[in-house]
Amino acid sequence: MIYVTGDTHGEFGGRFNVKNFPEQKELTKEDYVIICGDFGGIWDVGEEGKGEKYWLDWFAERSYTLLFVDGNHENFDRLYAYPEKAWRGGRVHEIRPSVLHLMRGQVFEICGKKIFTFGGASSHDISGGILEKDDPYFKRKKRRLERDWLPYRINHISWWKEELPNQEEMDEGLKNLEKYDFAVDYIITHCAATDTQELLKPQNGTDIMTEYLQKIKNMVHYEKWFFGHYHTDRMINEKEQVLSKIIERIY
Ligand SMILES: [Fe+2]
């Protein structure tokens, strides 16, 4: 079985407990729960903190295998430092043996389904800008932004440029899709394609991620596309579904 859910942002207690997700009683490690980005379970600066380690170990002990694509709120310095391995036709970072990060531009074969994955998105909660910790005016700038109630983030502490894809990742995605004749069963991303984002959040505009996903959307035959990022649960049309808090069985 395959389940999908939206952004978790490091909050796992409620959503995944047996009361809210009773189906897990029937699952095994050959069943999968996929988080559509903004996992947030790898966030601490430097190394796994106590709380973070607790939840990663907790997921490793669940009945199912936990998978996630990355969102825009992940600690990419640390996420990309976990060992990389080949898994079910694609590449993953192994966080725990049954907690895996599905890398960008991969096609995985899970439960007989072909799944294209591509994490990442632009952060939009940064109208105050990105601060640099070693800026001599760091404290002064931070105080001013806080006084003016302007959301800001700090490079390598709460924001990483890797939230958006590089050319290599985008090229790899197209190359891997080509191997499957541009036909997959499911697409799982954090961000939506430009035309879908325009429906959901026109104020976000477009960027390299939405434009790439638009290209994918126009080019690839797929049955269903699941994504997070917009903090709402709804069907966009018969193929696209945005997820937030619900855990939905898709296969
Ligand atoms: Fe997000």
CATH code, 2-123+159-249:
3.60.21.10
Residue 50's pLDDT is: 95
Q: Give 54 Cα–ligand 1 centroid separation in angstroms.
A: 23
**Closest among 213, 166, 221 to 191, alpha carbons compared:** 213
Q: Give 158 Cα–ligand 1 centroid separation in angstroms.
A: 13
Q: Give 25 Cα–ligand 1 centroid separation in angstroms.
A: 30
Residue 79's pLDDT is: 98
Taking the model in full, what pTM does it have? 0.97
Residue 250's pLDDT is: 97
Q: Give 207 Cα–ligand 1 centroid separation in angstroms.
A: 14
* Ranges of the chain with pLDDT below 70: none
Instruction: Give the tens place of pLDDT for each residue, 218-229.
Output: 999 999 999 999
Question: In the chain, where are the structural domains located?
Answer: 2-123+159-249
Q: Give 26 Cα–ligand 1 centroid separation in angstroms.
A: 30
